[in-house]
């Protein structure tokens, strides 16, 4: 008799909640495990609204879409999507500042020394310019251009990646179509009761408002902040990180598009938080994330509405949240994916990345039966690490500032940060070296972009830079900048690219 025989096999997955997280999970499981006989049911209620999290994404989503067989042009048209080459941060280091965190490299390394080290030596000299002037995706973003990267590693056109900005309310239905075509069964209705196995405490079934009972072996909680299974039923607990990230509310409103279709998201810092601007094909998504400790709802809403660049298309919608994560994202036979698992403000567009990471890890560790404590522990370890590393990177944006124009910024600038971040800052401010890790979302160029973009200039630079003649380095910098400008200039206009490739959504 095999080691797994005699224990209840996992052949029925029930996904609870049908927003972005729910349908991405269902589509991912169906695409990768549907052929193995896994039955996937998604229960959702049209009466319950969805938050519509994550209109802006990171380049990793292309891997997810490619893996589950999504056609890019169909996806773009169905979700009114635009391409995204980075995120512009306005007013973060100081009021009036602007930099772009690009999905790509700065310059090219030379003799093993990172490009920003050469730039640091000559920063401030005439003609040298800002660091992001040596980033192809930044230059292209500012020009409103887009072209997919080259696969030739020798080409400067290979030095970037791209993501998407899409309508989350259109993305979930698109994923639903994809999932249902691969065998996912959708059940409409509200869950009114959850049945637990008496001995193990595992969830065994859900009772719907019309009396139907949905049994399952593994449940994925995608019920958003409510956390129906992971918290309301299993009391997994929550790690509250508002000590470092005190924003606890957001107000969102769409407006008409005005001006060219920009291939980047904008995050503008305000008195006690920041606002997002996400350009889609048919509208612009806007929102203001703020701390209620420092700003009233009315004032936050006024700031948002005053900054709209087009006609408002709906009433402002308020959200409340506590930044942090569940103590256990997988507890017994319930896995929390999406907002039910935790919330980190969308400053770096990480919401969908964390959903994707949750799905990928669940697939990798998908248990054969209920005897899966090892898989559960490994899943939780991995996801904890992902959340914590994103958290540190978000804290950096608030802490690395010279702003002293409000109580909020004074608090953020002077607060104690996690040791992991403090050590990283100390290393960088000395000679520009960046502490790298193997497992984590944000790589060295991202840390450099935010640190230098927010005026954290190293007091000196890598000692090896001095080994090269100044005139030679300056010539190299000028040549590189010109080369990148030329390459960006040769790209197609972003909107024209979408149109030419049949990626524009047909008018209703």
Partner 1 sequence: MSTERILVRGSPLQAGVIGAYLASRWLGPGRSLELAVGTEDKATGSFATRPSVHRFHAEMGLPIDQLFARCGGSPILAAETRTADGAAVQLPFSAFGVPRGGVEFHQYWLRASRLSQQADLTEFSLSLALQNAAHKPPLAQLEQLPVDFGIAFDRSAYGNALLSFAKAGGASVIEASSEQAQSASLVIQCSSDAQAPKWQGQELNIAQQSGISGLEWHALSSATRRFANLAAPLSDCVPEQAEWTRLALAQRERMADMQELLNIEDPLASTRPALQRKAEVFAACGRIPTEDYEVFTPPEWLAALWARGVRPRRSDRMAERLTDSQLLDWLDQLRGQIASLTRQVQAA
Write out the residues near partner 1 by the rule CB under 8 A: 2-4, 32-33, 35-36, 38, 67, 111-113, 363-368, 372, 374-375, 378, 381-382, 423, 426-427, 430-431, 433, 435, 437-439, 460, 462-464, 466-467
Question: Could you give the CA distance from residue 487 to residue 232 in angstroms, rounded to a whole number?
Answer: 54
Residue placing its CB nearer to partner 1 in the complex, 92 or 382: 382
How far are the Cα atoms of 153, 176, 228, 340 from residue 185, in angstroms, in the given order?
43, 10, 20, 22
Residue placing its CB nearer to partner 1 in the complex, 16 or 38: 38
Residue placing its CB nearer to partner 1 in the complex, 212 or 381: 381
DSSP character at residue 291: -
DSSP code string of 103-124: SB-SS--BTTB-HHHHHHHHTT
The residue from 84, 121, 145, 361 that is catalytic is: 84
Token duo for residue 361: 């890890």
* φ/ψ (deg, to 5) at 200: -85, -25
- Residue 367 exposed, middle or buried by CB count within 10 Å (0-12, 13-18, 19+): buried
Residue placing its CB nearer to partner 1 in the complex, 197 or 378: 378
Q: Is 84 a known active-site residue?
A: yes
Shortest distance, CB of residue 335 to partner 1, whole angstroms? 15
Question: Could you give the CA distance from residue 118 to residue 109 in angstroms, rounded to a whole number?
Answer: 9
Is the distance from CB of 317 to CB of 288 less than 8 angstroms? no
Shortest distance, CB of residue 419 to partner 1, whole angstroms? 12
Beta bridge partners of 320: 249
Shortest distance, CB of residue 68 to partner 1, whole angstroms? 11
Residue placing its CB nearer to partner 1 in the complex, 305 or 434: 434
Measured in whole angstroms, the distance separating CA 104 from the mean position of its chain's CA atoms is 16
Shortest distance, CB of residue 438 to partner 1, whole angstroms? 5
Shortest distance, CB of residue 328 to partner 1, whole angstroms? 17
The residue among 267, 288, 371 whose CA lies nearest residue 7 is: 371
Token duo for residue 379: 């899943």
Q: Give the residue numbers marked as catalytic.
A: 84
């Amino acid at each position: 008799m095999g080691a797994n025989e005699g224990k209840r096999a996992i052949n029925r997955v029930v996904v609870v909640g049908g927003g972005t997280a729910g349908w991405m999970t269902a589509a991912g499981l169906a695409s990768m495990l549907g052929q193995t006989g896994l039955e996937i049911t998604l229960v959702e209620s049209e009466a319950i609204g969805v938050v519509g999290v994550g209109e802006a994404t990171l380049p990793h989503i292309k891997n997810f879409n490619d893996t589950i067989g999504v056609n890019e042009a169909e996806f773009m048209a169905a979700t009114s999507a635009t391409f995204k080459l980075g995120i512009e941060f306005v007013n973060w280091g100081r009021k009036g500042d602007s930099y772009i965190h690009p999905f790509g490299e700065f310059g090219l390394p030379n003799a093993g020394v990172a490009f920003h080290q050469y730039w640091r030596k000559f920063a401030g000299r005439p003609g040298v310019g800002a660091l992001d002037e040596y980033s192809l995706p930044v230059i292209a973003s500012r020009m409103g251009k887009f072209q997919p990267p080259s696969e030739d590693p020798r080409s400067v056109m290979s030095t970037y990646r791209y993501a998407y900005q899409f309508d989350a309310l259109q993305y979930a239905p698109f994923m639903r179509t994809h999932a249902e075509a691969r065998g996912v069964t959708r059940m409409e209705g509200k869950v009114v009761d959850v049945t637990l196995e008496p001995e193990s405490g595992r969830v065994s079934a859900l009772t719907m408002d019309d009396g139907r009972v949905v049994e399952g072996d593994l449940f994925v909680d995608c019920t958003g902040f409510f956390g129906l299974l992971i918290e309301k039923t299993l009391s997994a607990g929550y790690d509250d990180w508002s000590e470092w990230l005190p924003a606890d509310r957001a107000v969102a409103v769409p407006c008409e598009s005005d001006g060219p279709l920009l291939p980047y998201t904008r995050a503008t810092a305000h008195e006690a938080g920041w606002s997002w601007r996400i350009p889609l094909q048919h509208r612009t998504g806007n929102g203001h994330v703020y701390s209620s400790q420092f700003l009233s709802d009315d004032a936050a809403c006024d700031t948002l509405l005053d900054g709209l660049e087009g006609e408002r298309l709906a009433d402002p919608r308020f959200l409340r949240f506590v930044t942090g994560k569940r103590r256990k994202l997988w507890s017994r036979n319930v896995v929390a994916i999406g907002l039910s698992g935790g919330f980190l403000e969308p400053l770096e567009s990480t919401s969908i990345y964390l959903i994707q990471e949750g799905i990928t890890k669940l697939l990798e560790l998908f248990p054969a039966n209920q005897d899966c404590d090892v898989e559960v522990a490994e899943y939780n370890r991995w996801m904890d690490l992902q959340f914590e590393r994103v958290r540190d990177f978000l804290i950096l944006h608030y802490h690395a500032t010279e702003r002293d124009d409000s109580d909020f910024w004074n608090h953020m600038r002077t607060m104690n940060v996690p040791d992991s971040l403090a050590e990283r800052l100390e290393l960088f401010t000395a000679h520009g070296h960046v502490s790298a890790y193997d497992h984590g979302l944000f790589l060295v160029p991202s840390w450099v972009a935010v640190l230098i973009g927010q005026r954290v200039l190293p007091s000196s630079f890598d000692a090896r830079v001095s080994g090269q003649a100044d005139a030679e380095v300056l010539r190299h910098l000028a040549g590189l900048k010109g080369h990148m400008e030329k390459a960006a200039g040769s790209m197609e206009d972003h909107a024209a690219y979408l149109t030419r490739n049949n990626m524009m959504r047909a008018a209703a």
